[in-house]
Amino acid sequence: MPPVQHCLVGLDLGSSRTRCVAAIEENSRLRFISHGSAPVSRRGWERSVISDQDPVLESVEKAVEEAERNGGVLIDAAVVGIGGIHVKSNLSHAYVNLNSWETEIDKGHVDEAVKRASQGPLSEDRVVVQATPLEFSVDQQPHKRNPLGMSGKRLDAQVQVVSALAQAHDNICAVVNRAGVRVEETISEVFAASYAVLEEQEREMGVAVVDMGADSCELLVYLDNDLRLVSSIPFGGEHFSRDVAAVLRTHREDAERLIEQYGSVLPEQTPANVTVAVPNLKGNGFEEQPRRLLNEILKARAEEIFELIRDELDRQGFSNRLIGGTVLTGSLACMAGVCDLAEQVLDSSTRIGLPPRIEDLPDELDHPGWATSIGLVLYAQRLRLHQKRRKDRVAEWLKALFN
Is pLDDT at 176 greater than 70 in this prediction?
A: yes
Residue 230: CB partners within 8 Å, gap ≥ 6?
87, 88, 89, 162, 188, 190, 191, 218, 219, 220
Is pLDDT at 401 greater than 80 in this prediction?
A: no
Q: Do domains 88-164 and 237-298 have the same CATH topology?
A: no
Residue 352: CB partners within 8 Å, gap ≥ 6?
327, 328, 329, 333, 334, 339, 368
Residue 91: CB partners within 8 Å, gap ≥ 6?
134, 158, 159, 160, 161
Distance (Å, rounded) from C-alpha 296 to C-alpha 247?
A: 11
At 148, is the secondary structure helix, strand, or coil?
coil
What pLDDT is attached to residue 391? Answer: 54
Percent helix, strand, coil in the chain, to 5, is: 40, 30, 25
Return the CATH superfamily for domain 237-298: ATPase, substrate binding domain, subdomain 4 (3.90.640.10)
Could you tell me the residue ranges of all domains in the chain?
Answer: 88-164, 237-298
Cβ pair 298, 244 in contact under 8 A? yes
* HSE-CB of 166 using CA atoms within 13 angstroms: 6
What pLDDT is attached to residue 6? Answer: 72
The sheet carrying 226-233 orders its strands as 226-233, 217-223, 207-212, 326-329, 350-352
Provide the CA 298 distance to its chain's centre, in angstroms: 24
What pLDDT is attached to residue 373? Answer: 97
What pLDDT is attached to residue 4? Answer: 47
Query: What confidence tens digit (pLDDT) does each residue in 41-96 have?
Result: 989 999 889 999 999 999 999 999 999 999 999 999 999 999 999 999 999 999 99
Residue 111: CB partners within 8 Å, gap ≥ 6?
none
Per-residue confidence at 389, pLDDT binned at 50, 70, 90? low
Q: Domain 88-164 belongs to what architecture?
A: 2-Layer Sandwich (3.30)
Cβ pair 162, 130 in contact under 8 A? yes
Average pLDDT (324-334) is: 95
Instruction: Please state the three-class secondary structure of 32-92 as a single string.
Output: EEEEEEEECCHHHEECCEECCHHHHHHHHHHHHHHHHHHHCCCCCEEEEEECCCCCEEEEE
Task: Using DSSP bridges, classify how beta strands 141-144 and 49-50 pair: parallel, antiparallel or unpaired.
Answer: unpaired
What pLDDT is attached to residue 309? Answer: 97
Q: How many CB atoms lie within 10 A of CB 401?
A: 7
Is pLDDT at 398 greater than 70 in this prediction?
A: no
Average pLDDT (359-385) is: 93
Range scoring the smallest mean pLDDT among 2-16, 119-133, 322-336:
2-16
Cβ pair 298, 263 in contact under 8 A? yes
At 354, is the secondary structure helix, strand, or coil?
coil
- Which amino acid appears at position 54 of this protein? D
- Burial of 114 by CB count in 10 Å (0-12 exposed, 13-18 middle, 19+ buried)? buried
Average pLDDT (141-151) is: 91
The CA-CA-CA angle for residues 47, 52, 55, to 5°, reads: 110
Mean pLDDT of the chain: 92
